[in-house]
Structure 1
Amino acid sequence: MFRIFLVEDEINLNQILKSYLEKEGWEVSSFYDGKSARQALGAHPHLWILDIMLPDIDGYELLRIIKEDSPGIPIIFISARDADFDRIKGLEMGSDDYLAKPFLPRELVIRTHRLLERVYKSADQDTSVINLGPYTLHEDKRIVQIGHDIVDLTSKEYELALLFGQHKGQALSREQIIGNIWGDDYVGTDRSVDDLVRRLRKKLKDLRIETIYGFGYRMVGK
């Protein structure tokens, strides 16, 4: 089941849109301000529907925060302001679609269907997909999924998962991991590698990462 986050401060409109979206079988969480939506970032829905006119956080700022946290999650931007300006700015900032108010709820449903199908149904044909056991890593979206659910990873946790996925079965030294994740000019100890691996193991519990004592790590399995 797809999970959608709807951010719209007009209560009546929010409830109407939520009802239409839920009739399609989607799980919809409603937010009436930017602060509450921002607090839910870690839940990583499959789609954000975001109004630009919010009572606290500017919609553009919330869009920027969402894209920084989860660049691969699609966003539909809606606004009652200057349609051309908002549409262009929203698209430039990374939104995937735009709707100008007023619009029919059914139009939002149709656009949502098309966007979800384009982003998620085409995953099997995506050449940038790496299988990590039961998990699927999408390089273009910089996300890791299990089924339809997106795993909440930090940027460095994602990069480590990608590194293991690109070198399945290969022994990677701590120095190699540091060079790939932090860069050759990194100043610190290799304890950072151990801590990062520990966090990744906790979040991807079914990922088989072997410890090679005195050397580094290796991901085993398909």
Structure 2
Amino acid sequence: MRTTGAKDAVSVLVVEDDETIGRHVAAGLRSHGYAVTWTRTGGSGLTEAARLPIDVVLLDLGLPDMDGIDVARQLRDEHSDVLILILTARSEEIDVIEGLDAGADDYLAKPFSMNVLLARLRAHLRRRPPTPVGPDEPIRIGDLTVDTAARRCHLGDREVDLRPKEFELLAVLARHPGEAVSRESLMAQVWDENWFGPTKTLDVTISSLRRRLETTASAARTPIALPAFTTLRGHGYRLDPPGPLDGD
């Protein structure tokens, strides 16, 4: 059974033969915006992983047709970038070690809560390196999306209303997450390449931009992974990807 999520949603393959657990996990992921494909055997899981663009695999070890450890090993061999989380009733240390050695990124013992699973997913996905984007493709850093083509900014599912210079400044910094950008470069790209006067306007715009994003994040119903503006005294600014949320 395949459930299609929203455009650009993270694609999750659930390989779980238990009907109750499978439906619960698929429904929970779907309600949080993930695109879900659910299969009940290791063989069908490998087939779906080869057929579809998959970002995450949630893999049960006790499958009816083959051992989940073998499925994890084959998935890792054939899909080096996929995030693999094992979900299983096997909780002995040797099983944990065997699963991780087979290529899994994390291990969650049954029974588990949906909130814990979602938190683990968010934490892992935030720590993965960003996918390079073309000049007109939306830039995503944590829960921040900057769409330069449409000149729109979103935090999670909320649109942030930015002034023109605020948006342009954010776009420049977002194109270089984690990198220092000098005051001179920011002034040249956002204001005027021949600007030789005071750059206080840059500080004011950064302050206003930070305030707008923080206000939007604080109004959200769920925790927001918000990038941080780091001031580099004597040089410029850096937009740092968000760290783990509380509870991750």
Give the alignment's TM-score, normalised by structure 1: 0.53
1:12 corresponds, among 20, 35, 44, to: 20
Equivalences for 1:48-127 in 2 at 5 Å?
A: 48-119=57-128, 122-123=129-130
For residues 55-92 of structure 1, give each alpha carbon's deviation from its aligned partner in whole angstroms, at most 9, with x where no partner exists: 00110111111011111111001111243122111111
Q: Partners of 1:82 and 1:96 in 2: how far apart?
A: 16
Which consecutive unaligned segments of at least 5 residues does structure 1 have?
A: 136-222
Q: Root-mean-square deviation (CA), in Å?
A: 2.1
Instruction: Kindly indicate whether residue 55 of structure 2 is the aligned counterpart of residue 39 of structure 1.
Output: no
Q: Partners of 1:24 and 1:35 in 2: how far apart?
A: 27
Instruction: Report how many residues are paired.
Output: 128
Q: CA deviation at 1:49?
A: 0.4
List, as ranges, runs of 4+ consecutive aligned residues in structure 1 with deviation greater than 4 Å: 131-135
- 3-state SS of the aligned residue for 1:50? strand
Q: Partners of 1:10 and 1:134 in 2: how far apart?
A: 43
Q: Partners of 2:47 and 2:66 in 1: how far apart?
A: 12
8 Å contact kept, 1:83–1:100: no
Give the alignment's TM-score, normalised by structure 2: 0.48
Please identify which structure carries the higher helix content. 1
8 Å contact kept, 1:5–1:29: yes
8 Å contact kept, 2:13–2:49: no
Percent of matched pairs sharing the same residue:
28
Name the residue aligned to 2:238.
Answer: none
Task: Pick the structure with greater CA Rg.
Answer: 2
